[in-house]
Amino acid sequence: MVALSSKLALGAGCYWGTEKFIVKDFQKQYPGSIKNAKVGFMSPDPNAMENPSYRQVCSGATGHVEVLWVELKDPSTTFEPLIRFFFQFHDPTTLNSQGNDVGTQYASAIFCEDEPQKRIAEKVKAELQDLLDAGKISNYRSNKVETSIVDTNPFFPAHEEHQAYLDKNPSGYCNHFYRFKAWPSSKDEL
C-alpha cells in the first residue's frame, strides 16, 4: 500500500463551520482520527501574498481560500472517509460560494500534499459526480461538482479568536448543514 501524507487542507466555505463539522462530527465517526486542526488561509497559487489578514482575504483580492488545515493520525484509514464526509456538509456544486457567502475565499477545494492523496480525492469526486448524474443525490444547487483538487501551498493560520470559533460562540454564524448523512452506494437510495 502506498503511504499517504497525513496533512491536507479543506475549503468548504466559512472555515468556522468546516472546523466544527470535521473536528467534532467527523471525529464522532472516527474517534481520535485528527491529530491537529487549525483554521486559516491557503491559496491555489504558490506565489500568492504571504500571511494575508482576514480582511484582505475577505476582499477577494488575495485569491486565498478559507480552509481547515488538518493532520490525520492514520491517513491510511481516514483520508478517504474524510473526503467523503467533506462532500456531505457543504455544496461542492457552487463555484466560489456557499449559501449567502460569495467570493473566492468560499471555494470548495481540497489541497493535497501528495499524488496518492490527489488520486483518492479525484476518485471520490468522480463517484460524487456519478451519484449526481444518477440522481442519487439531489441536495445541491447544481449537478456539476466544482471542487478544485490542487497542491498544498503555504498555510497561514487565522488569528486565535477565529480558532474553535463555534466552540467559543455556540450560536455563531454557520451555514453548513448535512446534505446527506451517509455516502450512498450505487444501489442505495438517500
Quick check: helix, strand or coil at residue 119?
helix
- Residue of 108, 91, 96 lying closest to 147 (CA atoms): 108
Q: Which residue ranges form the domains of the chain, and what is each CATH number?
A: 7-168 (3.30.1060.10)
Cβ-based neighbours of 95, under 8 Å, separated by 6 or more: 107, 146
* Better-predicted residue by pLDDT, 103 or 189: 103
Just list the catalytic residues: 14
> What are the grid coordinates assigned to 87, written together?
462532500
75-133 pLDDT, tens digit per residue, is 999 999 999 999 999 999 999 999 889 999 999 999 999 999 999 999 999 999 999 99
pLDDT > 70: percent of the chain: 96
Average pLDDT over residues 28-33: 96
Tell how many helices (H) and how many strands (E) occur in the chain.
Answer: 6, 8
Q: What is the DSSP letter of 23?
A: I
Instruction: Give this prediction's pTM.
Output: 0.95
| pLDDT bracket for residue 190 (50, 70, 90) | very low
The number of beta carbons lying within 10 Å of the beta carbon of residue 25 is 14
Looking at this protein, which amino acid is placed at residue 110?
A: I
Q: 95-109 pLDDT, tens per residue?
A: 999 988 999 999 999
- What is the arithmetic mean of pLDDT over 184-190? 60
Measure Cα distances from 13 to 18, 24, 102, 138, 174 in Å: 7, 17, 9, 19, 10
Q: What is the mean pLDDT of the chain?
A: 94
pLDDT at 139 over 50: yes
